Amino acid sequence: MEMIKQPLGHNITCLDAQYVHPGIASIYLLEQDAKLCIIETGTAHSVPYILAALEAQGRSAEDVEYVIPTHIHLDHAGGAGELMQHCPNAKLVVHPRGAYHMAHPEKLQAGTMAVYGEETFRQLYGTLTPIAEERIIQAEDNHEIDFHGRILRFMDTPGHALHHFCVLDSLSKGIFTGDTFGLSYRQFDEGGRNFVFATTTPVHFDPDALLSSIDKLLALKPRQMYLTHYCAIQTSQENIAQLKKSVQAFVEIALAAKNSGENRQRLIEQQLLEWIVKESYSINNTLSESERRRIVATDARLNAQGLEVWLNRLEPKARGV
Ligand SMILES: [Zn+2]
């Protein structure tokens, strides 16, 4: 079991969740007065890496005070229940809209299993473990936690998911953005620039809300964005513009395919993949074409699924939803 982690300053460590492959999903460990706060949990399969990382820092699971998934999508919160069982002193901090599912994950598990099938579900996520309600703190917009003098402020950020918050950290002046500030894989980095694009995964994608949430984060003038997918980036005029442009482009691709009948989702997926790959050349000139496609193929598929759900929401009568 090889642990992959990177210190980021301000007592923040980025730990790889080892979700599908390394380099895809991050978990952040914040240490203050020998106590720990863990932002994002990865899946149940990520928990052994978290425990090993604590041990490597000379800490134990008893030192964990907060476990904070930015939203309840399973690459962010799938391991929360399992992790909470190992951390007897920890409270879970979650968006009010996600709290019920963390205490009663049966429906979340059944729903995801219906999409992936049981075998793939187990491979990807393991098992969802319920968390006792009295251990759950529901963080409304602007809720603050004083983590040993370090203030964590929770901001409601719908657009990717209705159960999504971002966390502003007073020490680093950075924001743990979950999926709100998009996806940015380090393989695309070149010359200090990075490639960022939006994630529209099912089932709550709302472009206007997402753009407002992005502006809400930027208004705080963060020094850095701690993305879940993947690790920390600095904001720049370039990557902010790129992220917003991708929201627009994905919406346009979906709307243009609106009347394509049964092949609609597949068509959207193909066009998203082409758009993302093409745009990536504006930042990176060294990766091979096949490598680019490999890195973003899953995101193009998930984004297409989310845009399909969004289109269905726009036309409820025609589709009988
Ligand atoms: Zn998500």
CATH number at residue 122: 3.60.15.10
Range of the domain at 97: 5-180+204-209+224-233
- Comparing CA positions, the residue from 104, 62, 101 lying closest to residue 85 is 62
Ligand 1 mean position, distance from CA 128 (Å):
16
2/191 Cα distance (integer angstroms)? 29
Ligand 1 mean position, distance from CA 53 (Å):
24
Strand duo 12-16 + 5-7: pairing: antiparallel
- With respect to residue 276, please indicate whether it lies within any of the assigned structural domains: no
CB 112 within 8 A of CB 74: yes
Q: How many domains does the chain have?
A: 1
- Comparing CA positions, the residue from 61, 101, 54, 49 lying closest to residue 78 is 101
The residues placing their C-beta within 5 Å of ligand 1, an ion, are 73, 179
Around 97, how many Cα atoms within 13 Å sit in the side-chain half-sphere?
14
- With respect to residue 241, please indicate whether it lies within any of the assigned structural domains: no
- With respect to residue 56, please indicate whether it lies within any of the assigned structural domains: yes
Looking up tokens 């917003």 gives 244
Ligand 1 mean position, distance from CA 73 (Å):
5
> What residue type is assigned to position 272 of the chain?
L
pLDDT digits (tens), the chain, 321 positions: 789 999 999 999 999 999 999 999 999 999 999 999 999 999 999 999 999 999 999 999 999 999 999 999 999 999 999 999 999 999 999 999 999 999 999 999 998 898 889 999 999 999 999 999 999 999 999 999 999 999 999 999 999 999 999 999 999 999 999 999 999 999 999 999 999 999 999 999 999 999 999 999 999 999 999 999 999 999 999 999 999 999 999 999 999 999 999 999 999 999 999 999 999 999 999 999 999 999 999 999 999 999 999 999 998 665 544
Ligand 1 mean position, distance from CA 71 (Å):
7
- With respect to residue 78, please indicate whether it lies within any of the assigned structural domains: yes
- With respect to residue 261, please indicate whether it lies within any of the assigned structural domains: no
Ligand 1 mean position, distance from CA 201 (Å):
7
39/167 Cα distance (integer angstroms)? 9
- With respect to residue 170, please indicate whether it lies within any of the assigned structural domains: yes
Ligand 1 mean position, distance from CA 274 (Å):
22
β-sheet bridge partners, residue 183: 197
Looking up tokens 């005029």 gives 237
259/282 Cα distance (integer angstroms)? 31
pLDDT at 54: 97
Ligand 1 mean position, distance from CA 164 (Å):
8
- With respect to residue 14, please indicate whether it lies within any of the assigned structural domains: yes
- With respect to residue 279, please indicate whether it lies within any of the assigned structural domains: no
27/229 Cα distance (integer angstroms)? 10
